[in-house]
């Protein structure tokens, strides 16, 4: 059974994957350092998504 997505899936090489991973991890740590460890999960997810979009991811 095929899987359909709302966005096309782009195949990337391993180095590109690691570059994206480092950016997202850095953003996640920035949020953690700014707001602390008890931040509401829904807010954390929304903030991470907003920062990823702002970073062009």
DSSP string, 29-51: HHHHHHH-TT--HHHHHHHHHHH
pLDDT in tens, 1-52: 788 889 888 899 999 999 999 999 999 999 999 998 888 999 999 999 999 9
Distance CA 52, CA 22 (A): 12
SS3 content of the chain, % helix, strand, coil (to 5): 65, 0, 35
Write down the pLDDT at residue 24.
Answer: 97
Write down the pLDDT at residue 1.
Answer: 79
Q: Where are the domains of the chain?
A: 14-54
């Amino acid at each position: 059974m095929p899987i359909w997505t709302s966005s096309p899936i782009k195949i990337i090489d391993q180095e590109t994957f690691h570059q994206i991973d480092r950016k997202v991890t850095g953003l996640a740590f920035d949020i953690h350092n700014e707001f602390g460890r008890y931040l509401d999960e829904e807010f954390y997810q929304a903030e991470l998504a907003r920062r990823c979009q702002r970073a062009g991811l």
